[in-house]
């Protein structure tokens, strides 16, 4: 394996970081977030692990950067989809459709609070939180444009529910090899496999409707 020359300029450093992030994205997309390792990333781009650690503190920092990038893509996409709705009852469907169209994002969401925010520096977590805060504000404004009876906290609750359920249920909707074998051997257990998009839509529809009823009732 030929080791990369150490980056000597800011542009070279950004180029190395981009290569590392691209490799991590490819591996996570192919094998799942749980399977990504620093060694695997380094091998993917022909870099020694020790060299990779000059650019990123930990595996978790790399994956957290990917999660922030996914937020930055999802926010504008969902906001645009919400702006095109003719019927406010379609909000849940729009949110679930844009999330399930981003399987890597759903996978990452399932790991953020469990591990990705825990083995990184304060600055790394702060950078991630600033991205998510900005996108929550963007999506919240788009939600309230469609559903003007909702208050700001209601919009935050809808978004929080969406990402929490998507992150958890994505894992249930994509069982690994062992679980898949269990379900094949005993079809009675196959109900545990979740069909993510319709399930997420139903949950979000219920949350949105409950919030709307509460606001109309003066809650």
Instruction: Tell me the domains of the chain and their CATH numbers.
Output: 1-56 (1.10.10), 58-216 (1.10.357.10)
What would you measure as the largest C-alpha separation in the chain, in angstroms?
67
- For residues 157 and 182, the model is more confident at 157
Residue 2 has pLDDT above 70, yes or no: no
Average pLDDT of the residues of the chain? 90
> Which band of pLDDT confidence, cut at 50, 70 and 90, is reported for residue 180?
low
Overall average pLDDT of the 55-59 stretch:
94
Residue 175 has pLDDT above 90, yes or no: no
Helical spans, DSSP H, in the chain: 10-31, 38-44, 49-52, 59-83, 91-100, 103-111, 122-146, 152-173, 177-185, 196-216
Residue with tokens 């729009």: 94
Overall average pLDDT of the 159-182 stretch:
82
* Residues 136-149: tens digit of each pLDDT: 999 999 999 999 99
The pLDDT assigned to 176 comes to 67
Percent of the chain residues past pLDDT 90, beyond the cut: 76
The whole model's pTM is what?
0.88
> Which band of pLDDT confidence, cut at 50, 70 and 90, is reported for residue 205?
very high
Overall average pLDDT of the 113-125 stretch:
93
Residue 16 has pLDDT above 80, yes or no: yes
Residue with tokens 């062992």: 178
Give the Cα separation of 166 and 70 in Å (integer): 14
Instruction: Answer for the pair 33, 108: CB distance below 8 angstroms, yes or no.
Output: yes
Overall average pLDDT of the 4-23 stretch:
80
Overall average pLDDT of the 173-190 stretch:
67
Return the structure tokens found at 164.
């929490």
Calculate the CA 116 to chain-centre distance.
12
Residue 1 has pLDDT above 50, yes or no: no
* Residues 29-49: tens digit of each pLDDT: 999 999 999 999 999 999 999
The pLDDT assigned to 11 comes to 80
Instruction: Answer for the pair 211, 148: CB distance below 8 angstroms, yes or no.
Output: no
Alpha-carbon dihedral angle through residues 98, 80, 210, 156, given to the nearest 10 degrees: 90
Give the Cα separation of 184 and 3 in Å (integer): 44
């Amino acid at each position: 394996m030929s080791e990369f020359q150490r980056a000597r300029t800011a542009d070279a450093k950004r180029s190395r970081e981009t290569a590392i992030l691209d490799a991590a994205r490819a591996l996570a997309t192919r094998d799942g977030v749980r399977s990504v390792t620093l060694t695997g990333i380094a091998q993917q781009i022909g870099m020694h692990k020790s060299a990779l650690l000059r650019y990123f503190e930990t595996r978790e920092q790399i994956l957290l950067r990917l999660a922030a990038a996914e937020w930055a893509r999802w926010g504008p996409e969902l906001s645009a989809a919400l702006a095109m709705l003719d019927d406010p009852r379609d909000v849940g469907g729009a949110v679930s459709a844009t999330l399930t169209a981003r399987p890597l994002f759903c996978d990452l969401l399932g790991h953020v609070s469990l591990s990705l925010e825990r083995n990184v520096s304060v600055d790394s977590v702060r950078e991630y939180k600033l991205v998510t805060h900005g996108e929550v504000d963007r999506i919240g404004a788009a939600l309230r444009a469609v559903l003007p009876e909702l208050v700001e906290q209601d919009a935050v609750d809808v978004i929080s529910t969406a990402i929490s359920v998507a992150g958890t249920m994505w894992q249930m909707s994509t069982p690994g090899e062992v679980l898949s074998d269990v379900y094949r051997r005993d079809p009675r257990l196959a109900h545990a496999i979740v069909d993510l998009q319709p399930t997420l839509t139903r949950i979000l529809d219920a949350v949105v409707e409950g919030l709307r009823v509460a606001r109309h009732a003066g809650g």
